[in-house]
């Protein structure tokens, strides 16, 4: 499973890329606004930092404008991916970029039917938003299961499922169990993946036991074993 960082914050990208666990980066207009940047201000630097796909989202709502933005974005780096909203115009732009072998990430996906259309339009990635479905009392992971099942039924569809809008590590685990190709995580969620209180407590107990035994052996004149 590929793990992407969902951030436009250059410092945060640097921090998480350094862990070796980041396979790519996704951004969107909200994340850009949070750091007060436009794509041209930060995507080139992120592309240089990351050895993987970097999604930059267009803000046009018509295919012509989307394609114009895409023509600018592809200059940011060889690993840039054009992120397009899953609307009719976005799928028109997706199909055109697909014929030009320009990678795309079709975002704001909320139904399996939308995901099927995006795959037929040649999307490189589809981004279903699981957290936002949960926010409206709908099980977002059901959508992932349906998309993965549909895509697996048609091997000719090459679109990768990129699970987005993840709110907690359990959603990542369930997405991996379902066979989703990728997931994009805010830094906060990435951080949570490492931790468990029983791991911390177990390590503390191991070290306490070792140091206690070492001191006892030193008192008795022995040498602690390596
Ligand atoms: O990549 C999409 C993601 O940033 C959306 O997450 O939490 O705003 O639903 P969220």
Each residue's pLDDT tens digit, 151-187: 999 999 999 999 999 999 999 999 999 999 999 999 9
> Per-residue pLDDT averaged across 123-135, rounded?
98
What's the gap in Å between 156 CA and the centre of ligand 1? 29
Query: Ligand 1 pocket: which of 24, 54, 110, 132 to mutate (most atoms <8 Å of CB)?
Result: 132
The two three-digit tokens of residue 25, written as one number? 């980066």
- Beta carbon of 29 within 6 Å of any ligand 1 atom: no
Tokens standing for residue 1: 């499973």
Catalytic annotation, residues: 83
Query: What confidence tier does 25 reach under pLDDT thresholds 50, 70, 90?
Result: very high
3-state secondary structure of 184: strand
Look at the block and give the residue holding tokens 């640097």.
14
To test the ligand 1 pocket, which listed residue (12, 30, 33) has its Cβ within 8 A of the most ligand atoms? Answer: 30
164 C-beta closer than 6 A to ligand 1? yes
- Calculate how far, in angstroms, residue 13's C-alpha sits from the geometric centre of ligand 1: 16
Neighbours of 84 (CB within 10 A): 31
Residue with the two structure tokens 């911390």: 200
Dihedral (Cα; 12, 36, 130, 63), 10-degree rounding? -130
- pLDDT tens figures, 51-64: 999 999 999 999 99
Exposed, middle or buried: residue 36 (CB in 10 Å: 0-12, 13-18, 19+)? Answer: exposed
Rounded Cα distance, 15 and 186, in Å: 12
Longest dimension (CA), the chain: 82
Q: Is the pLDDT of residue 214 over 60?
A: yes
Q: Is 131 in the pocket of ligand 1 (CB under 6 A)?
A: yes
Rounded to whole angstroms, the Cα distance separating 14 from 116 reads: 35
Residue 44 scores a pLDDT above 60: yes
Percent of the chain with pLDDT over 90: 97
What pTM was computed for the model? 0.93
Q: Distance between CA 219 and CA 213 in Å, rounded?
A: 10
**Dihedral sign from CA coordinates of 173, 188, 25, 146:** positive
pLDDT at 225 over 80: no
Contact criterion met (CB below 8 Å) for 133 and 114 = no
Which backbone phi and psi does 141 adopt, to 5 degrees?
A: -70, -20
pLDDT at 221: 85
Provide CB contacts within 8 A for 17, sequence distance 6+.
Answer: 5, 49, 50
- Residue closest via CA to ligand 1's atom 6 equals 165
Ligand 1 proximity of 28 Cβ (cutoff 6 Å): yes
Which atom number of ligand 1 is nearest to the Cα of residue 26?
Answer: 1
Q: Which residue's CA is minimally distant from atom 10 of ligand 1?
A: 165
* Close Cβ partners of 177 (under 8 Å, ≥ 6 residues apart): none
Comparing CA positions, the residue from 194, 163, 192 lying closest to residue 180 is 163
């Amino acid at each position: 499973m590929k793990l992407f960082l969902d951030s436009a914050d250059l410092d945060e990208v640097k921090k998480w890329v350094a862990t070796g666990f980041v396979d790519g980066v996704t951004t969107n207009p909200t994340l850009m606004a949070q750091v007060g940047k436009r794509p041209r201000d930060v995507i080139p630097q992120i592309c240089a930092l990351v050895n993987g796909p970097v999604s930059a989202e267009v803000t046009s709502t018509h295919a012509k404008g989307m394609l114009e933005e895409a023509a600018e974005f592809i200059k940011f780096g060889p690993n840039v991916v054009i992120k397009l909203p899953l609307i009719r115009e976005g799928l028109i732009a997706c199909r055109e970029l697909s014929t030009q072998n320009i990678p795309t990430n079709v975002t704001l996906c909320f139904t399996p039917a939308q995901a099927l259309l995006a795959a037929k339009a040649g999307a490189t990635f589809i981004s279903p938003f699981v957290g936002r479905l949960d926010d409206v009392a709908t099980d977002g992971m059901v959508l992932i299961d349906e998309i993965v099942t549909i895509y697996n039924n048609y091997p000719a569809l090459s679109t990768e499922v990129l699970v987005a809008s993840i709110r907690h590590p359990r959603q990542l685990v369930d997405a991996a169990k379902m066979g989703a190709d990728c997931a994009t995580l805010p830094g906060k969620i990435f951080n949570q993946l490492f931790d468990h209180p029983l791991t911390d407590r177990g390590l503390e107990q191991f070290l306490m036991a070792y140091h206690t035994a070492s001191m006892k052996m030193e008192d008795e004149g022995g040498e602690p074993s390596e």
